[in-house]
């Protein structure tokens, strides 16, 4: 038995002096040196008593050591569970407990706050900082290199990624070795990645985009990564001349376009720009082409499925569309209730099937049954149409979801929080267009009685309990929520009402 993901992504680079990570401080880590660190980290995991199938929850900054921890989990057969660095203690408690993590790795600065969370879940606690320091690193440093990959089946879990849901309760998407490997193979092929590529990587590594799409693709192709801690405009502008490709959420591209230094001369040498995780406005696509001569390649994916569709490398990259199904992946547009396929050209719910589709939600068999049909089709909840040429367009969402700067926010979760605040009778949360984040959160509150709501107190509570990207950027108090005759809150009316809330004022 082998370990298919390790064997394909990592093993071919063992002992090689080729560059893997170009770091922000100007230094470079070779493939071989990275893999030695992976071996030491895998030994550290085993020394802590972890065995194949155990979960390692991580709430740490992006660093080469954090990436090595991901690789070490693959090599040791342990399930990697990355968590958004913006999550608060209150949010983390659920993930560590629900996953029954055996080990929780957090930032050294939050060790005190995380102690009770780890203890309540019966998980061991270790620390790893953005600078590579921490108790886990101390343990890693004392370990030998040379670690035999723990055998795994293609169907064994490689990662557990939590994704929030319409009910407000997050679900752990179980991704297998085969899910991740099949997707990396399809993307390397479609996007023509090779060992000559240098990818500018400014995405976080706790989501599918930065971790699997960007990292796995580069590992499989054998190229190098300019591995930046986050998207910082100055650093990205400075490092683009050394890159051949870049992946980003639409906010990356609008921020670049807002800077006059971002021009044809700066990126004329680049091979490819890829966008995803949120809709790229057709207008951004066109402005980007006008400024740089590059047509951004837009693709579409989800945590549960990794990537599903992509515009073509050769051929027309059509603005406003997400292209065609990837090789091995099938898509269809279906009726929301009957799940029957609709005639070509009609709008319906997009279903996806293929080796990329996850195994189900962690310990939620009913949720899994609701979204994953017995014949393997996954109901994405996105509304789409497929045109006569086969291009898929995501026209909206059947699910009540806001995507802000590439992060998903389910209104229900924020409404549950707001409804629990003193003086609030009820609340509604909707998305409003935002020039930087694409969309952002607007909350509408109804007071229990006139003057009962203390907005400062609610904002302070939101800061303490909700990740920053989920906090409402605007809170409005209304006497009542608009409702239809059935008593259902009319969110469309609220969306229309706040549609221009963040648009620049016409002068
Ligand atoms: C940060 N902030 C956000 C935000 N990110 N607010 C709304 N939406 C966001 N996305 C807030 C912080 O809370 C803080 O608020 C302030 O902005 C500054 O924080 P920052 O960390 O300095 O922000 P910045 O670096 O500007 O981050 C913006 C960003 C980042 C767009 C660069 O969010 C980002 O890297 N997004 C990528 C998301 C991603 O990788 N998604 C992939 C999901 S996988 P305050 O109030 O404290 O000042 C997926 C599948 C697929 O969807 O298809 O790929
Ligand atoms: P996540 O749960 O974070 O994986 O987010 C997945 C969701 O992001 C999808 O269901 C879509 O709604 C959205 N998404 C991802 N890529 C695109 C895209 N290119 N265009 C429109 N929506 C997208």
Q: Do 4-152 and 198-400 have matching folds?
A: yes
Q: Indicate whether 250 pLDDT > 90.
A: yes
Q: How far is the CA of 254 from the centre of ligand 1 (A)?
A: 14
pLDDT exceeds cutoff 70 at 481: yes
Q: In a 10 Å sphere around its CB, with 0-12 CB exposed, 13-18 middle and 19+ buried, how is residue 144 labelled?
A: exposed
pLDDT surpassing 70 at residue 36: yes
Q: Nearest CA to 478 among 450, 505, 436, 506?
A: 450
Residue 249 CB–ligand 1 contact under 6 Å: yes
Mutational test site, ligand 2, from 302, 311, 318, 351, max ligand atoms within 8 Å of CB: 302
Q: Is 17 exposed, middle or buried (0-12, 13-18, 19+ CB in 10 A)?
A: exposed
DSSP label at 468?
G
Nearest ligand to residue 352 Cα: 2
CA 492 to ligand 2 centroid distance, Å:
20
Q: What is the dihedral of CA 347, 350, 351, 357, to 10 degrees?
A: 170
**pLDDT greater than 90 at residue 466:** yes
Q: Does residue 321 line the site of ligand 1, with CB under 6 A?
A: no
**What topology does CATH give the domain 4-152?**
Rossmann fold (3.40.50)
Tell whether ligand 1 has an atom less than 6 A from the beta carbon of residue 302. yes
Determine if ligand 1 sits within 6 Å of the CB of residue 206: no
Ligand nearest to the CA of 173: 2
Q: What is the pLDDT of residues 194-242, one digit of tens each?
A: 999 999 999 999 999 999 999 999 999 999 999 999 999 999 999 999 9
**Residue 474 has what pLDDT?**
97
Dist CA 285 CA 299 (whole Å): 13
pLDDT at 346: 97
Residue 443: Cβ-neighbour burial (10 angstroms; 0-12, 13-18, 19+): buried
Give nearest CA residue, ligand 1 atom 48: 468
Task: Write the DSSP string, 226-246.
Answer: EE-SS--HHHHHHHGGG-SEE
Q: Quick one: tokens of 9?
A: 């992504």
The model's confidence at residue 507, banded by pLDDT at 50, 70 and 90, is: low
CA 505 to the chain's CA centroid:
32
pLDDT for res 506: 65
Q: Is the CB of 323 under 6 A from ligand 1?
A: no
Predicted structure pTM score: 0.97
Of all protein residues, whose CA lies closest to atom 33 belonging to ligand 1? 405
Give the C-alpha separation, 126 to 91, whole Å: 19
Mean pLDDT of all residues in the chain? Answer: 97
Whether residue 276 has its Cβ less than 6 Å from ligand 1: yes
146 pLDDT more than 70: yes
List ligand 2's pocket residues with C-beta within 6 A: 163, 208, 276-279, 298, 300-303, 322, 380, 382, 394, 397, 403, 408
Q: Does domain 402-497 have CATH number 1.10.3720.10?
A: no
Domain ranges of the chain: 4-152, 198-400, 402-497
Q: How far is the CA of 228 from the centre of ligand 1 (A)?
A: 15
Q: Is the CB of 310 under 6 A from ligand 1?
A: no
Residue to mutate (ligand 1; options 164, 358, 405; most atoms within 8 A of CB): 405
Q: Which of 302, 303, 469 to mutate to test the pocket of ligand 1 (most atoms within 8 A of CB)?
A: 469
- Ligand 2, atom nearest to 208 Cα: 4
Q: Look up the CATH number of domain 198-400.
A: 3.40.50.12780
pLDDT band at 352 (very low <50, low <70, confident <90, very high): very high
In this structure, the residue with its CA closest to atom 27 of ligand 1 is 231
pLDDT per residue as tens digits for the range 48-65: 999 999 999 999 999 999
């Amino acid at each position: 038995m082998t370990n298919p993901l390790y064997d394909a992504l990592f093993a071919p680079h063992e002992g090689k002096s080729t560059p893997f990570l170009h770091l922000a401080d100007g230094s470079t880590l070779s493939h071989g040196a990275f893999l030695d660190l992976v071996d030491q980290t895998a030994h550290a995991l085993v020394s802590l008593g972890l065995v194949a199938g155990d979960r390692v929850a991580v709430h740490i900054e992006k660093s080469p050591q954090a990436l090595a921890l991901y690789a070490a989990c693959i090599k040791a057969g342990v399930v990697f569970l990355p968590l958004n660095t913006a999550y608060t203690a209150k949010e983390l408690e659920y993930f560590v407990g629900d996953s029954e993590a055996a080990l929780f790795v957090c930032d050294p600065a939050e060790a005190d706050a995380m102690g009770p969370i780890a203890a309540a879940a019966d998980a061991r606690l270790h620390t790893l900082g953005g600078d590579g320091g921490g108790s886990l690193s101390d343990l890693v440093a004392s370990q030998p290199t040379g670690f035999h990959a723990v055998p795994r089946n293609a169907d064994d879990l490689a990662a557990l990624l939590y994704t929030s849901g319409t009910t407000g309760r997050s679900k752990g998407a179980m991704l297998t070795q085969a899910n991740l490997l099949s997707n990396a193979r399809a993307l390397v092929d479609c996007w023509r990645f090779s060992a000559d590529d240098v990818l500018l990587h400014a995405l976080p590594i706790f989501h599918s985009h930065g971790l699997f799409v960007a990292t796995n693709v580069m590992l499989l192709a054998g190229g190098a990564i300019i591995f930046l801690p986050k998207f910082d405009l100055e650093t990205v502008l400075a490092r683009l001349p050394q890159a051949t490709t870049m992946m980003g959420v639409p906010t990356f591209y609008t921020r670049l376009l807002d800077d006059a230094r971002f021009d044809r001369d700066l990126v004329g040498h680049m091979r490819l720009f890829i966008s995803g995780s949120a809709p790229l406005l057709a207008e951004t696509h066109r402005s980007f082409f006008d400024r740089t001569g590059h047509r951004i390649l837009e693709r579409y994916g989800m945590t549960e499925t990794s990537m599903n569709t992509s515009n073509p490398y050769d051929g027309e990259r059509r603005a406003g569309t997400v292209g065609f199904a990837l090789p091995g992946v099938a898509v269809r547009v279906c009726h929301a209730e009957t799940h029957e396929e609709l005639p070509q050209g009609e709008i319906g719910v997009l279903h996806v099937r293929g080796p990329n589709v996850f195994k189900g939600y962690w310990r939620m068999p009913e949720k899994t049954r609701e979204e994953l049909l017995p014949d393997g089709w996954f109901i994405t909840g996105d509304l789409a149409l497929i045109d006569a040429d086969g291009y898929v367009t995501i026209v909206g969402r059947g699910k009540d979801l806001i995507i802000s700067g590439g992060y998903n926010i389910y209104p229900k979760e924020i409404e549950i929080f707001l409804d629990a605040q003193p003086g609030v009778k009820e609340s509604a949360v909707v998305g409003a267009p935002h020039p930087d984040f694409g969309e952002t959160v607007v909350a509408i509150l109804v007071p229990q009685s006139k003057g009962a709501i203390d907005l400062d107190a609610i904002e302070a509570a939101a800061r303490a309990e909700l990740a920053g990207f989920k906090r409402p950027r605007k809170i409005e108090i209304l006497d009542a929520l608009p409702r239809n005759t059935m008593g259902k809150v009319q969110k469309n009316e609220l969306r229309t009402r706040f549609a221009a809330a963040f648009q620049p004022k016409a002068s």
